[in-house]
Structure 1
Amino acid sequence: MEMCAAVYVLSTVTGYVLTSALLLKCPNLLHRRKREPFLSRHISHRGGAGENLENTMAAFKHAVDVGTDMLELDCHLTKDEQVVVSHDANLRRATGINAYISDMAYNELPPYFCKLDVTFQRECYCAGGDDKRIPLLQDIFDAFPDTPVNIDIKANNDLLIKKVSDLVIKYDRENLTVWGNASNQVVKKCYKENPRIPVLFSLPRVLQLLGLFYTGLLPFVPLKEQFLEIPMPSILTKMKDPSGLTRSQRFIIWLADTLLMRKALFNHLTARGIQVYIWVLNDEEDFQRAFDLGATGVMTDFPTRLRDFMDKNGISKPE
């Protein structure tokens, strides 16, 4: 009896493992591939914060002129309910004024500094030109009607989410927009407000995704998200002085990188019509690694640098 039970358990486990492995490589046997309204390989972070002042019209125009496939930007709501494009809720870092965007009317917002730090490039600053204005989201929609836009909803604000959705609908951009936030609560609100706009995986959902992947359950689970947007943890060793990292910090970075940067995971998601974007990469070594791992696209502060790399290595733009 015990022998029979052991054989049954073994055969069941073996069947599960084989089925999981098969569906990992061929997920369309179980899931219908998601429709991809657009494909993006070249994504400009904050419009290309290493080549122009972040989140300005000058940055976005330059990135589009370079040939970017997608503009990534951040949104907040002003006191007079205007959707503005800015990364920080507080204006101190970017303008020197210690005030929150939500407490000011749009026409009261100060201009950016002439020089801003590039967050994901060690000891790097970008000195901008004449354009230091914080733009409205509708300015980007007006100027670039055919360019996909990746919107980070920076505040858990129902009105902000509704206003962004209204603008997307007004400009007929539901098939040219992806939105979300690291917060699962914000992503749920976005999806509830307008399920026709594709959403990003939130941080809790990324962790859940990894859990499903490593337990072999991922091939059996439906996913509503259409975009996985994740960092490459190893870039942290380039952003800080390596000698300043403790042994435990280096181990954590290595472990996170090992768990997250998985070609099998990226290939599975891609086969299901889920695009994988890796951020924020600013040198050729990391560009190459991301594409070798099967990432759909790379997000960068240096759109010219990424374009030159793609041209040199024959990485085709999506049609």
Structure 2
Amino acid sequence: MIVLSALGGYIITSYVFLKYPGILHKKKDVKFKAVHISHRGGAGENLENTMAAFQHAVNVGTQMLEIDCHITRDGHVVVSHDNSLNRTAGMEGCITDTDYQDLPPMLGSLRTDFEFTHVTVGGEDRRIPLLREVFEKFPDLAINIDIKINNDALIHEACAFHFVNKLIVEFKREHLTVWGNGSKEITDKCHKMNPSIGVLFSVKRVLLVVFLFYSGLLPFVPLHESFYEVLMPGVLLRENKFHVNFTSRQKFFIRLADTLLMNRSIFQHLSARGIQTYLWVLNDREDFERAFRYGVTGVMTDFPSRLTEYMDAKSA
């Protein structure tokens, strides 16, 4: 009887704090809200991570650019998803082993990772841009920076070069920037370097949130991150997109992950704590609809025009 009473009290207390987290936690003060997020600047409509892609995404109304950063051999922070130049430029070598002035142009067309049957054909802009250029061009736009490699120089200031943190501070955009990576080690370094810049949940921390939620402990645990960015696992089973023949076992675990992660109560609780929630990478109306049904803050897409059309139609 005592055990049952204690368990009942725990469940009720957990439920109350889940619904009203402000009792235990101060709500995070994120200075912007991003509903429309362009993955790699909109990789389905322009060559990924180029200035042309960023400008197009802004023109159609995106509220955040999701970009990726690497560092050249001579210490310049550039915007590129891959360190290897093979996929994007069709040549051997890595960005980290190349001086900025020697970086090759990107190929004229690239396959879109999250809609594999789609090939994006680029225009005249095939240049790998500097992060500085992005900050200069879009001073008032929220930017989500994925620090791609565990390189201290990419996070810290070193010698005379302006690395990511110094650039963010120089352009006074701590309030408009979120950074991190799927790696907990990289994200922890980002947070330690400058706690005033919002950080993403790493993969390990996302899994921790899910465990804490289903165990009833989530309402009691402080969270230093401000942006909960997760993959919607169900998109992986769209065979018309990826042409991957998953085994029955793999499909089972993907569906299980989808069921556990796509829980409206998790998103609602995090939102009540001031944490923005993003789902990626969604490219169809059906996925947009499903995401917003869960009450997430924003959707990340390769096709910013599609998301704008969907949002305009819903508003109308």
Give the secondary structure class of the aligned counterpart of 1:122.
strand
1:137 aligns with 2:131: yes
Q: Does 1:32 align with 2:26?
A: yes
TM-score w.r.t. length of structure 2: 0.96
CA shift for structure 1 position 240: 2.8
Letter in 1 for 2:112: V
Alignment equivalent of 1:92, drawn from 86, 101, 104: 86
Does structure 1 residue 121 correspond to structure 2 residue 121? no
Residues 1:309 and 2:301 aligned together: no
Alpha-carbon distance, 1:215 to partner: 0.2
CA-to-partner distance for each residue in 1:272-297, whole Å, 9 max, x for gaps?
00000000000000000000001100
CA deviations 1:117-153 (Å, max 9, x no partner) are: 1000031110010000000000000000000000000
Could you say what secondary structure the match of 2:62 adopts?
A: coil
Distance in 2 (CA, whole Å) between partners of 1:132 and 1:29 is: 51
1:186 alignment counterpart? 186
Aligned partner of residue 277 in structure 2, secondary structure: strand
Q: Offset of 1:59 from its aligned partner?
A: 0.1
Deviations 1:251-306, CA, capped at 9 Å, x for gaps = 11100100100000000000000000000000000000000001100000000000
What percentage of aligned pairs have identical amino acids?
56
SS at match of 2:116: coil
2-side partners of 1:112 and 1:89: how far apart? 13
Question: In 2, Cα distance between the equivalents of 1:313 and 1:248?
Answer: 37
Rounded Cα–Cα distance in structure 2 between residues aligned with 1:255 and 1:293: 17
**Which residue is equivalent to 2:296?**
295
Q: Structure 2 counterpart of 1:158, which letter?
A: D
Once the two structures are superposed, what CA deviation does each residue of 1:16-67 show, in whole Å capped at 9, x if it has no partner? Answer: 1000011111111111111021000000000000000000000000001111
Partner of 1:159: 153
Which residue of structure 1 aligns with residue 213 of structure 2?
A: 213
Q: Give secondary structure in 2 for the equivalent of 1:74.
A: strand
* 1:270 equivalenced with 2:261 (yes/no): no
Contact kept, 8 Å, 2:115 with 2:242, in 1: the verdict is no
In the alignment, the residues of structure 1 paired with residue 315 and residue 270 of structure 2 have an alpha-carbon distance, to the nearest angstrom, of: 23
Contact 2:47/2:53 (8 A) holds in 1: yes
Counterpart Cα distance in 2 of 1:172 and 1:249: 45
- Distance (Å, rounded) in 2 between the aligned partners of 1:249 and 1:314: 38
Q: Does 1:255 align with 2:256?
A: yes
Contact 2:70–2:147 (8 Å) recurs in 1: yes
**SS at structure 2 position matched to 1:124:** strand
AA aligned opposite 2:165: S
Shift of 1:98: 1.0
Hey, what's the Cα distance between the residues in 1 that align with 2:71 and 2:187? 17
**Could you tell me how far apart the structure 2 residues matched to 1:29 and 1:195 are?**
24
Superposed CA deviations along residues 144-193 of structure 1, whole A, max 9, x for unmatched, are 00000000000101110121000000000000000000000001100111
- Structure 1 gaps of 5+ residues are 1-6
The aligned counterpart of 1:4 is: none
Corresponding residue of 1:240: 242
Distance (whole Å) between structure 2 residues aligned to residue 108 and residue 312 of structure 1: 45
The gaps in structure 2 that reach 5 residues or longer are 157-162
Q: 1:92 Cα shift?
A: 0.3
Shift of 1:241: 3.1
Structure 1 runs of 4+ with >3 Å offset? none
* SS of aligned partner of 2:145: strand
